[in-house]
Structure 1
Amino acid sequence: MDFTEIYRQSGGLVAFSPGAHFILTAVSDRLVVRRADTFHVSRSWQVPSLPSPSAAAMIPVTSSRPVKPALDADSTTQIVITQIAWSPDSEYVFSACAKLGLVYIFRMRDEEWSAHIEAGTEGLLRAEWAPDGRHVLCFSEWGLRVTVWSLVAGIATYIQYPLHPDRGHAFRQDGRYFVLAERHKSKDTIGVYDAANSFSLSRHFPLPTSSMSSLALSPSGSHIAVWEGPLEYRLFILSLAGDVLGSFKPDPDPGFGIRNVVWHPSDMFLAVSGWDNKIHILEQLTWSRVATLELGTRIPANVTIWREPSKWLEATEGRGFLSYEKLEGPHSLNANRVDNSKSYPKSGTVQLEFNKTGTLLLARFESVPTSVHLFAFPGPGEAFSPRLRSVFLHSSPVMRVHWNPVRQGRLALSCGGQAMYLWSEEWIGESGAEEEMAECVGIPAKKFNARDVQWAPDGKGLLLIDRETFCCAFDVEE
């Protein structure tokens, strides 16, 4: 790997542009855009730090504390910018300042052009781009409404009573429809809005849930999976017309709700997991369970085990790379003791994710925080028998794991130290055939703590993010 220099950032706000040509960062109250090839600054904007008129008017009523002053150029102890994002076409960027109730929008082609959105008295929790890159969605406090602002028409469309600001909504893959979980008259509902027609309401139907936790829209956009809150393990599958196609509830009832739901890229399967260390696979024809994958305290003999070498960073002085130790099974896992008397016990899956082609399912279990499990998933025409394929063991808890967005068999991991970890099934061995390879890669810096790792959209580079700095790593051969 080839590493860049270390650059400043604030709040972990760093993002590749969708085309991977630029990198957007927040540094205190300033937005900085760098070229991804030379890392030269291409654009820079300073975000005004004054609150919106509505937010300023509400301060004496809602808070006894004065508004904090803007940050100076050398301070990163206070963060003004709380969120940054590229438009899907890389034409615009925005920075959201939730505490100030403002979203500032800038244009890459015209450094002098800018616009801002004032959230108003309902406040601002978060913002996001619509897939067309010309609308910005602002989620207000207290679940009051979603405001859709048009950059072209300069008008706003209001959608009342979203159920959650950070989940419970999705765009169809083609960007045509916006699906939103809502709550009207104390009942869970779904609203389907036509994004091509000023977000006008297309359908509105009730849900069979009593307290919906979230939803997951299938890759084709034809099915919606919705599930209950943490007290009940129950999932429903609906069509976009509101018809209930199926439901799932395990027997016996595990006593806690659902933590993760993820669709297979083919739309044919649905993976569901909760706090009981089990992953249930549902199929599309009858929405019944066809397989159950479970965390065991003993790894079978036919599973590949990769273990991080002991004190390898000290031995390599944080430079270069070293292969994982490949162990022969069976092997025992040291799982943390789970206290089921707590409302949210430290068990179950904290991450569940298919790779690009759906041939591998990644799972991280909270009771074994230092490990990552990979399950092999059968492809078209293969016998349906998902199984545990590989397990990665580390000396520190795993913080982030991400699939390469382009290559089907490549992973990047971070454990919070001065290193990152890579796994690939595309390594060409001595025989000329592809095989697995897992490597520990040291970050050549005097002081760097890789809290997060993110792939570039083209899959050729990685962002490594510390508390106040970041750097990039690229494959030398590419």
Structure 2
Amino acid sequence: MDFTEIYKQTGQLATFSPGAHFLLTAIQDRLVVRRADSFQITRSWQLEPSPSATALAASRKPLTRPQAVSDSGSSVDRDGWISHAGWSCDSEYILAACARKGFVDVFKMRDEEWRARIEAGAEGLVKAEWAPDGRNIICWSEWGLRVTVWNLVTGSATYIQYPAHAERGYAFRSDGHYLVLAERHKSKDSIGVYDATSAYRMVRHFPLPTGLFSALSLSPTGSHVAVWEGPLEHKIHVLSLAGEHLGTFAPEKDPGFGVRAVAWHPAGLFLAVLGWDDKVHVLENLTWGPITTFELQSRIPVGTTIWREPPDWLEATAGRGFLSYERLQAPHTLCLTVRDRTKPPPELPAASKTTCSEHLAWNVDGTTLMVRYGGAPDAIWLYAFPSFARPAEEKSVPAPHRTLKPKLRSVLLHAAAVTSVWWNPVRKGSLACATGGGAVYLWSDEWESEGEGGQTDGEAEEVAECVGVPARKFAAHGLRWAPDGRGLVLLDRETFCCAFEVEEDVPVRQ
């Protein structure tokens, strides 16, 4: 891989444009857009820090706030920093939100002088993001009062009252036609379905069977929505978008502390549910009952490919180049983290702010399931699913005769706890992770071995590599793939760099 220089960023706000031609970053109160091929700056905007008079008058925050001190000794007003930034779907517009001061600025790539502002007003602002159509901006107010949808074309606003959760309580259907929003009216949970193509007109509204709503997840087909209870009960419900209750799953013995993560199969065939008891229940889409269960165990069985990060390899290579993982022979025994079941998980507050995809996720074609168990934070577990899980093959298999026999395929062991892990959005057999150190870790099963005469034998094999970041002071705590799957953004606390695949010309044998 080839790495770029180290650049500044704040708020972990560094993201590729949908076409992967540009890279957007936020540096305090400034937006910077770079070209993805040369990393030259093409656009830069400074936010106007002054909030509206309404926001000032309604602010409930103290008049004086402790200010951070920069390296030069001067004070820094973090209230004016960008808290949210993002691209529209066509890369034409960019939004930058300052939640503490209650406004959203919108900029246009083709016209550097053009800008628009959305002022939240008395209800405050906690989050802002683009709708799938790229012409509506969705803003969440403080205290769950309402969601406001602002249209850039007409300048009009649509208000939806009492959303349940700004992070885990909504989803758009894959075609962007409907918004599914969890709401809480008069201490009761409900779901509203809104038509995004008709000014967010309500088309469905039905109650939820939850006692205390925690989160929802919409199936890739857009026909089912899974909702689960709060941290005190391990229970998940599946409903149709018409409000029909299709099924409920709860373990025979409630392990406590509820559901940790949920992941839909890309074709909507299965629903994987990870609990705080380090068990994964895979539900099928007919009866919504479990067809298999995975559990964290200290002994890795025979038949599993085990990869281990070499000890002290970063010091030996001075953080440059790459090195293959060590291959261990199965069976192998791990030292697991012992958790006191009488106390809540220490990672529960932090996990509520992270995405489910970094704990439990399918690859792009649904043949492999990635799991991160809480009892083994330094390991990544990969489970292989049968090939008939593809939609075209699934239709040819009668439902009563379907046999699902997934197995543990590979385990990746690291010297430190994994802080971020993502599947490649395009390639089915490519995974990247970070552990908060000076390296990025890659796993792939798409390499073809060479046989006699330099010809490939057509059989793919697994490859796991440790790739050092060529920088003295850089710790990769987070990472994100480019939309085309050819590059990565590696994020430190206040800096970032990018890594790209190096395309080599293979000589042709005469």
TM-score, normalized by length of structure 1?
A: 0.96
The residue identity in structure 2 corresponding to 1:363 is V
CA distance in 1, matches of 2:156, 2:69: 29
Match of 2:377 in 1: 369
Provide structure 2 residue ranges, at least 5 long, that are not aligned to the other structure.
394-401, 505-510
Match of 1:14 in 2: 14
Provide structure 1 residue ranges, at least 5 long, that are not aligned to the other structure.
none
Secondary structure at the counterpart of residue 100 of structure 2: helix
Asked if 1:462 corresponds to 2:463, the answer is no
When structure 1 is superposed on structure 2, of 347-356 and 153-162 the one drifting more is 347-356
CA distance in 1, matches of 2:499, 2:65: 42
Q: How does 1:217-228 map to 2 (within 5 A)?
A: 217-228=218-229
Match of 1:46 in 2: 46
Give the superposition deviation at 1:344: 2.8
Asked if 1:121 corresponds to 2:122, the answer is yes
Say if 1:49 and 1:70, in contact at 8 Å, map to a contact too. Answer: no
CA distance in 2, matches of 1:173, 1:182: 21
Identity of aligned residues (%): 58
Give the superposition deviation at 1:210: 1.0
Question: Cα–Cα, structure 1 residues 227 and 344, in superposed 2: closer, same or farther, change >3 Å?
Answer: same
Give the superposition deviation at 1:258: 0.9
Q: How does 1:64-83 map to 2 (within 5 A)?
A: 64-65=63-64, 79=78, 80-83=81-84
CA distance in 1, matches of 2:323, 2:480: 21
Give the superposition deviation at 1:304: 0.5
Give the superposition deviation at 1:58: 2.5
Match of 1:398 in 2: 418
436, 447, 463: which one pairs with 1:437?
463
Match of 1:281 in 2: 282
TM-score, normalized by length of structure 2?
A: 0.90
CA distance in 2, matches of 1:345, 1:248: 26
Asked if 1:24 corresponds to 2:37, the answer is no
Match of 2:242 in 1: 241
Match of 1:471 in 2: 497
Asked if 1:389 corresponds to 2:409, the answer is yes
Give the superposition deviation at 1:115: 0.5
Match of 1:410 in 2: 430
CA distance in 2, matches of 1:197, 1:155: 13
Match of 1:58 in 2: 58
| 1:414-468 Cα shifts (integer Å, max 9, x gaps) | 1111111100001122332210000000111121111111110000111111112
CA distance in 2, matches of 1:219, 1:70: 46
Give the superposition deviation at 1:85: 0.6
The residue identity in structure 1 corresponding to 2:64 is R
Question: Cα–Cα, structure 1 residues 69 and 338, in superposed 2: closer, same or farther, change >3 Å?
Answer: closer
**CA RMSD in angstroms, aligned pairs only:** 2.1
Question: Cα–Cα, structure 1 residues 115 and 229, in superposed 2: closer, same or farther, change >3 Å?
Answer: same
Give the superposition deviation at 1:343: 2.5
Match of 1:354 in 2: 362
CA distance in 2, matches of 1:29, 1:256: 39
Asked if 1:311 corresponds to 2:319, the answer is no
The residue identity in structure 1 corresponding to 2:100 is K
CA distance in 1, matches of 2:75, 2:32: 15
The residue identity in structure 1 corresponding to 2:293 is T
Say if 1:71 and 1:78, in contact at 8 Å, map to a contact too. Answer: no
Give the superposition deviation at 1:73: 11
Match of 1:169 in 2: 170
CA distance in 2, matches of 1:73, 1:163: 43
Q: How does 1:316-355 map to 2 (within 5 A)?
A: 316-344=317-345, 351-355=359-363
Question: Cα–Cα, structure 1 residues 198 and 71, in superposed 2: closer, same or farther, change >3 Å?
Answer: farther
Say if 1:338 and 1:346, in contact at 8 Å, map to a contact too. Answer: no
CA distance in 2, matches of 1:6, 1:410: 25
Question: Cα–Cα, structure 1 residues 72 and 439, in superposed 2: closer, same or farther, change >3 Å?
Answer: closer
